[in-house]
Structure 1
Amino acid sequence: MTEQQYKELLIKTAKMSDYEHKEKVVEALRVASISFQKEFAFTHHLPDHRQEHIIISVIPEKLAILKEHENFVDDLCEQAYEPNDYNEYSGLILKPGILHVAPEEISQEIFFDNIQNQIIGEIQKAKFSIWIAMAWFTNKEIFDELLKKRNEGLDIKIIIDNNRVNQEKPLFTLENHFEVYRVDVQSKRYKNIMHRKFCVIDLETAMHGTFNWTSAANYNKENWDVDHNREIAKIFAEEFVKMRRDAELSMLI
């Protein structure tokens, strides 16, 4: 296992844990460098195995975080250590170092069940902005999570289709709390639908799929993708900005 592969495994293991402060540790590990330090001393645990320490070097402000949670990080290092015939994990060494910028971690998750909770989970992780384009939005649980984020000071913008369901069904009025654009899609002969269903969080995560933000959607056969990828988030953000601009222009006509 290479040092970069070991670092990626540490981060994945941390993410899967139930440790309360795992997000802080993951953020610090992402900008850290990892190295293996093989020792001449034997371990006295396994026959003919020499000691090997894991050195994690990171900028001082992140080093303080890792030291605060050193027992958790040490446990991660031991879990991720690859068994071999020559060395044995013998401990963690934390050192100050320079900022290490690794290639962007890209992950995609596709869900067919429990979609509402997945959406709420991503909303809860938002730090700066949430931009939503949704054909139908009547789900009170998702609305409540967005309201919490607005009260934390996040920038929340919503584009929805101007249809009867969005006007009459909700137990809330979006405009009372958020920046909202209700759009009409009109062809020459028919009123059509703004049928998009996506959400951009912090310009880093894009969620999209067939799942409307309604309670009824929980009982349908739906799918939902979560892309932790800046490039994909950028594409959806650009489309959102275009939709918002078109909505503003239509209000002036």
Structure 2
Amino acid sequence: MNEKQFLSTMIETLKWDGDDYENKEKMLSILRYAEIDFEKTTTFTRKSYQCHEDIAIRVRIPMLKEAKTLLQPFRKLIRYVYRETEDHDLRNVLIKPKPAEGQDIEIVDHSVAFEQIRAEIIQGIRIAKYVIWVSVAWFTDRAIYEELLLKKKEGLQVRVITSDTSNNVKLKNELISEFDALFVSGFGAYGRNLMHNKFCIVDFEFVMHGSYNWSLAAEYNEETWITSMDKELVADFAEGFKNLYIKYI
């Protein structure tokens, strides 16, 4: 596999098979903005005509110190994912800086999920370090609520906008009490128009959005959920959330 496939495999492995990694969320946060280099050598292994290669994780410079403290779990993960070939075998895992000139270039990365969307949402929340802004039509899933509550207790700013409808009362009092959640009433002709958004902004670094409501019923539907690190798109969603918040506060 090439470098991009290898990085994607590392991320997906951590997401779905990463319970053995104590610092799973920190590792994921680093890998989302990392690059992988296969650094081939001319040093032979014990096999005929096979050479060693190193794998360098190229990390954004502000994340370098934290990444270096996680070198051993990164080594464990890479050795788990790595596939030896006739030409090369893994020698070492290195943490190196990502080129500075590329760090202000727009990051455009998208992934889409059709299954295990609830787990994808929870994972996105767990990665958050500073800010979580949520706008969803229905919010009745207690597991997701508990993840947001944990983040609030860590000192993060958590804002929630949802719809004020009869099928959205399960967590209403708790959402208002803990997050000052805004419940938007029906509007338009006969009050039938709804605040029908479904998106979540994390640290102004990525946005998760799609058809999936944060409800138990959504687990049994055919749904889509996209995670995007496109800076322009994230900024547009943030502006949209801000306008909603100002409108209904």
Same fold (TM over 0.5): yes
CA contact (8 A) 1:63 1:94 kept: no
Instruction: Report if the CA contact (8 A) 1:130-1:156 is conserved.
Output: yes
CA distance in 2, matches of 1:239, 1:140: 26
Match of 1:134 in 2: 136
Question: CA–CA distance in 1 between the matches of 2:74 and 2:191?
Answer: 63
1:186 corresponding residue in structure 2: 187
State the SS of the aligned residue for 1:156: strand
Q: Which residues in structure 2 correspond to 1:216-235 (within 5 Å)? A: 216-219=217-220, 221-231=221-231, 232-235=233-236
Report the 3-state secondary structure (helix = DSSP H, G, I; strand = E; otherwise coil) of the residue aligned with 2:196.
coil
One-letter code aligned to 1:193: L
Q: CA shift at 1:109, angstroms?
A: 1.6
C-alpha distance in 2 between matches for 1:198 and 1:50: 49
Distance in structure 1 (CA, Å) of the matches to 2:67 and 2:143: 38
- Aligned runs of 1:190-201 on 2, under 5 Å? 190-201=191-202
What residue number does 1:36 align with? 39
Change (3 A) 1:216 1:76: closer
Residues of 2 paired with 1:190 and 1:93: CA distance?
Answer: 59
> CA 1:67–1:149 in structure 2 vs 1: closer, same or farther (change >3 Å)?
closer
CA distance in 2, matches of 1:80, 1:43: 15
Aligned residue for 2:53?
53
1:109 is matched with 112
**TM-score computed with the length of structure 2 as normaliser:** 0.75
Q: What are the ranges of 5 or more consecutive residues in structure 2 without an aligned counterpart?
A: none
Q: In the superposition, relative to structure 1, how do residues 222 and 203 fare at CA in structure 2: closer, same or farther (>3 Å)?
A: farther
How far residue 193 of structure 1 moved from its aligned partner, in angstroms, is: 1.5
**Greater Cα offset, 10-19 or 134-143:** 10-19
1:75 matched to 2:76? The reply is: no
Q: Classify 1:72/1:29 alpha carbon distance in 2 versus 1 (closer, same or farther; 3 Å).
A: farther
Structure 1 runs not aligned, ≥5 long: 249-253
Percent identity between matched residues is 25
Query: Which sits farther off after the overlay, 99-108 or 177-186?
Result: 99-108
- Name the aligned partner's letter for residue 206 of structure 1: V
Distance 1:160 1:89, change over 3 A: same
Residue 251 (structure 1) aligns with: none
Between structure 1 and structure 2, the one with the greater Rg is: 1
Query: Could you tell me how far apart the structure 2 residues matched to 1:181 and 1:57 are?
Result: 42
Q: Which amino acid aligns with 1:149?
A: K
Counterpart of 1:12 (choices 8, 23, 38) is: 8
Matched AA of 1:159? I
Distance in 2, Cα, partners of 1:105 & 1:180: 31
Aligned twin of 1:243: 244
User: SS at 1:75's partner residue?
Assistant: helix
* C-alpha distance in structure 2 between counterparts of 1:10 and 1:233, whole Å: 26
Count of aligned pairs between the two proteins: 234
